[in-house]
Amino acid sequence: MISKSALADLPSPAPRSADPDALAAEIIERLTYSIGKDAKVAKPHDWLTATILVIRDRVIDRWMESTRQTYDTGGKRVYYLSLEFLIGRLTRDAVSNLGMLDEVRAALGSLGVDFDAVTSLEPDAALGNGGLGRLAACFMESMATVDVPAFGYGIRYVHGLFRQQMSDGWQVELPETWLANGNAWEFQRRESAYEIGFGGSVDGIGANPAETQRCVWKPQERMVAVAYDTPVVGWRAKRVNTLRLWTAQPIDPILLDAFNAGDHIGALRESNKAEALARVLYPADQTPAGQELRLRQEYFFSSASLQDILRRHLQEYGDLRSLPDKVAIQLNDTHPAISVAELMRLLIDIHRFGFDAAWEITRKTFSYTNHTLLPEALESWPVPLFERLLPRHMQLVYAINAKILRNARLERGFDEDQIRSVSLIDEGGDRRVRMGNLAFVGSHSINGVSALHTDLMKQTVFSDLHGLYPDRINNKTNGITPRRWLMQCNPGLFSLIRDAIGDEFMDNTEALSALDAFAGDSEFCARFAAVKRDNKVRLANLVARRMGIKLDPSAMFDIQIKRIHEYKRQLLNIIEAIALYDQIRSHPERDWVPRVKFLAGKAAPSYHNAKYIIKLANDVARVINNDPAVRGLLKIAFLPNYNVSLAEIMVPAADLSEQISTAGMEASGTGNMKFALNGALTIGTLDGANVEIQEHVGKDNIIIFGMTAEEVAERRENGHEPRPIIEASRELSQALTAIASGVFSPDDRDRYAGLVAGLYDHDWFMVAADFEAYADAQRRVDALWVDEEAWYSRTILNTSRMGWFSSDRTIRQYAKEIWKAGP
């Protein structure tokens, strides 16, 4: 160890240079001395690793500076707890935010290595399912950008979201192995390790009333959480924050006693059990995972993160009473909601707080974001499972519940129905712990992710809790980082904008509004169109390479990319494509607008209907793409293995963005923002953030159709009868008959009988009910497309007016209104 006095004299390393020659020399040095490869025999992956190590050094300088600064100023830290971080590739993002793109490109170039080729070898970190995980990644980058000292906490899954392969048009799931070539971005922190327990028994200490009693929990099973840190660089590298992901390890790597006694398998069982915990990301979004392993993951990362947070706070301030002044913990959906009970346990059992004092600290520290209203996605755990795995937490949940219900009954005069609805325990059917209610009562702020979603939260899932705590629910409309989703993914548009309006928008996205002045400038429209065309050519080339489908870049590129889910209504899109196909064949004399419909997205492996929707898209694509009567006027391409990196190619190439969820069901959407920012027009329902996008871009620059959330609710309440609606529409009934009779599935004519029967029977997602409105809206889009200059001026106005949807704005609102943190 080093003595304190010697520490003061330790030399600090010189900050690393950004000069291309210095970078090149260091890359060679890393290749030689860190990777042990001669440049002459180095493989592409070796170059990638060497490059990352050299960039990482530049990041570390800023990282340490940021950490020191927070420490010195005693600033409040934000902890973002999320079971998902859908990051994608990190390297280009880091280099670009460091402002070193040209230098690194030149350095590699001087070594005969192509920057784009090398960075495209980096696997996506796909530690998330969809919107919620991608939002967490955008937030991490924005927190660093707007100078909020923050840690993200999550799980370092060995396997992220599965790789999707198409086999005869069906989705096949393959394990994804993003760590196969190592991960040069992360640092293992063996010293940041915490014990995590499960099961066992609880002993009371002393004779206090149950709810203030300190207890000793003796878990039956124990493991260790070990941290891995990844630096997250903000724009211009002003600040570098930390993403800390936990991995699970056994307490003893092998049970030596058992091993020596000859029980070799038994000795390894413990170790396997621990390592299984962090092995896979649950691939289901919007459907409850249900299984015990999921609850274990949730508790594991919540407990590790809280122990880490308390340790850091105690080390700095010596007293947990000041926790809410220095720490804000954001719960990303209910996945970390067990944290509420865990913090109570740590405060009461370990740090000897009384129940009420602990409760006050807890509520002031936590805030919770809700991301979905779908009843099937609201997490709850069977009481017996909860009790078996987390016996101490079960006691605390009961104690919290008693306190809440007592208050609701005695002080607020709640009746029995209201009591039932605010209770932490769902008593209807098998008894379950409601994680949403736990997160709600344990937080001082509960936010929705768009204005509409927040209103619906107040009216539906949380109406009684909102009545009990009327000042807690607030809105924070989602956003996206303009660095990844404009500057990096669309360099052509980025430089066109810079030429036109200068650099201010790079630091203040809302300055994009200066582009409004160019919407009527035909020369600018032409340049905007040329950029779009280049991006479309790039996508068309990719489709030709990967799928052998030839596409015309002058056709309208109409894109729907997102998880496959019935409420997102890919089915509506496909049925409309069939109706259009029929029209093109029946009316060859008309001037049809050439279109390519792109779809991409993954279905939860257990989601039957979603998997059939993928198969249907592929079946329909095969028939339409190969029908000479269509004369290439309509093509369909379902691109396999949708991920962040594919989105970065598809988004800039879109003319039309499909955001067509059943109104009231998409909490926000964030893909909608990415497309509009990159100059696509939206065809969409008044759902989620579409409502606010319309307010910003203006009614003339977006194509809205269909029922409102209110109308959907009303229709459901009054009993929606789809059959007469279907029968009244010739186009719709013909399309459905074609699907149901096997026109697209001659090898198995009944394949889609079930899917179509659902539409006739209940049509829960209002596909039939919205069909006519949607088809009309598509013909309105065609009419707009024909006037090319007017089309581009509309798309320019979209780019110009989307600045507000930067996640920097969202994060500033969280920081000011919820966390009270940051500058």
Is the Cβ of residue 49 or residue 380 nearer to ligand 26W in the bound state? 380
The amino acid at 672: N
Is 238 noted as a catalytic residue in this protein? no
Q: How far is the CB of 285 from ligand 26W (least distance, A)?
A: 4
Is the Cβ of residue 324 or residue 669 nearer to ligand 26W in the bound state? 669
Is the Cβ of residue 303 or residue 372 nearer to ligand 26W in the bound state? 372
C-alpha–C-alpha distance, residues 822 and 436, integer Å: 28
Residue range at the interface with ligand 26W (CB under 6 A); choices 26-34, 40-48, 283-291, 484-492: 283-291
**Does 684 interact with ligand 26W (rule: CB under 6 A)?**
no
Q: Which residues contact 8 (CB under 8 A, 6 or more apart)?
A: none
**Does 135 interact with ligand 26W (rule: CB under 6 A)?**
yes
Residue range at the interface with ligand 26W (CB under 6 A); choices 280-288, 482-490, 537-545, 802-810: 280-288
Tokens of 434: 């409601």
Is 458 noted as a catalytic residue in this protein? no
Is the Cβ of residue 370 or residue 535 nearer to ligand 26W in the bound state? 370
Q: Within its chain, how far is the Cα of 107 from the centroid?
A: 34
Count Cβ atoms within 10 A of the Cβ of residue 590 and give its class: 0-12 exposed, 13-18 middle, 19 or more buried.
Answer: exposed
Is the Cβ of residue 131 or residue 231 nearer to ligand 26W in the bound state? 131
Evaluate whether 333 touches 413 at the Cβ level (below 8 Å): no
Residue range at the interface with ligand 26W (CB under 6 A); choices 127-135, 223-231, 232-240, 512-520: 127-135
**Does 131 interact with ligand 26W (rule: CB under 6 A)?**
yes
Is 189 noted as a catalytic residue in this protein? no
Q: How far is the CB of 465 from ligand 26W (least distance, A)?
A: 18
C-alpha–C-alpha distance, residues 190 and 10, integer Å: 24
**Does 688 interact with ligand 26W (rule: CB under 6 A)?**
yes
Q: How far is the CB of 129 from ligand 26W (least distance, A)?
A: 6
Is 563 noted as a catalytic residue in this protein? yes
C-alpha–C-alpha distance, residues 755 and 739, integer Å: 9
| H or E stretch at 493 | helix 491-501
Which residues between 658 and 677 bind ligand 26W (CB under 6 A)? 666-670
Q: How far is the CB of 288 from ligand 26W (least distance, A)?
A: 5
Distance set, CA 88 to CA 97, 180, 643, 757 (Å): 15, 16, 8, 39
| Residue indicated by tokens 């600090």 | 12
Count Cβ atoms within 10 A of the Cβ of residue 719 and give its class: 0-12 exposed, 13-18 middle, 19 or more buried.
Answer: exposed
Phi, psi at residue 718, to the nearest 5°?
-85, 5
Is the Cβ of residue 295 or residue 796 nearer to ligand 26W in the bound state? 295
Tokens of 672: 């909608």
Is the Cβ of residue 320 or residue 712 nearer to ligand 26W in the bound state? 712
**Does 289 interact with ligand 26W (rule: CB under 6 A)?**
yes
C-alpha–C-alpha distance, residues 359 and 367, integer Å: 14
**Does 288 interact with ligand 26W (rule: CB under 6 A)?**
yes
**Does 770 interact with ligand 26W (rule: CB under 6 A)?**
no
**Does 566 interact with ligand 26W (rule: CB under 6 A)?**
no
Whether the CA torsion 796, 797, 801, 806 is positive or negative: it is negative
Is 568 noted as a catalytic residue in this protein? yes
- Of the residues 53, 95, 111, 132, which one makes contact with ligand 26W according to CB under 6 A: 132
Count Cβ atoms within 10 A of the Cβ of residue 375 and give its class: 0-12 exposed, 13-18 middle, 19 or more buried.
Answer: exposed
- Of the residues 372, 490, 690, 806, which one makes contact with ligand 26W according to CB under 6 A: 372
Is the Cβ of residue 132 or residue 243 nearer to ligand 26W in the bound state? 132
| Residue indicated by tokens 């409601």 | 434
Range 34-42 contact pairs with CB under 8 angstroms and sequence separation of 24 or more:
39/111
**Does 433 interact with ligand 26W (rule: CB under 6 A)?**
no
Is the Cβ of residue 379 or residue 655 nearer to ligand 26W in the bound state? 379
Residue range at the interface with ligand 26W (CB under 6 A); choices 51-59, 170-178, 282-290, 609-617: 282-290
Which residues between 305 and 344 bind ligand 26W (CB under 6 A)? 333
DSSP letter for 806, please: B
The amino acid at 431: R
**Contacts with ligand 26W: how many residues (CB under 6 A)?**
23
Q: Which residues contact 796 (CB under 8 A, 6 or more apart)?
A: 515, 518, 519, 524, 525, 528, 679
**Does 600 interact with ligand 26W (rule: CB under 6 A)?**
no
- Residue 347, CB-side half-sphere exposure with 13 Å CA sphere: 28
The amino acid at 459: Q
Residue range at the interface with ligand 26W (CB under 6 A); choices 8-16, 129-137, 153-161, 534-542: 129-137
Ordered DSSP codes for 578-602: HHHHHHHHH-TTS-PPPEEEEEE--
Evaluate whether 380 touches 434 at the Cβ level (below 8 Å): yes
Q: Which residues contact 639 (CB under 8 A, 6 or more apart)?
A: 543, 546, 547, 598, 599, 600, 646, 650
How many residues belong to the chain?
A: 823
Which residues between 51 and 80 bind ligand 26W (CB under 6 A)? none
Catalytic residue of the set 76, 453, 532, 563: 563
Is the Cβ of residue 113 or residue 243 nearer to ligand 26W in the bound state? 243
Tokens of 730: 């010739």
**Does 302 interact with ligand 26W (rule: CB under 6 A)?**
no
- Of the residues 326, 371, 393, 527, which one makes contact with ligand 26W according to CB under 6 A: 371
Q: How far is the CB of 406 from ligand 26W (least distance, A)?
A: 30
C-alpha–C-alpha distance, residues 152 and 154, integer Å: 7
Ordered DSSP codes for 39-67: TTT--HHHHHHHHHHHHHHHHHHHHHHHH
Is 371 noted as a catalytic residue in this protein? yes
Catalytic residue of the set 92, 163, 484, 562: 562
With CB atoms as reference, the residue minimizing the distance to ligand 26W is 131
Residue range at the interface with ligand 26W (CB under 6 A); choices 126-134, 528-536, 651-659, 673-681: 126-134
Is the Cβ of residue 213 or residue 477 nearer to ligand 26W in the bound state? 477
Residues that bind ligand 26W (CB under 6 A): 129-132, 135, 284-286, 288-289, 333, 371-372, 377, 379, 449, 478, 666-670, 688
Catalytic residue ranges: 371, 562-563, 568, 670, 674
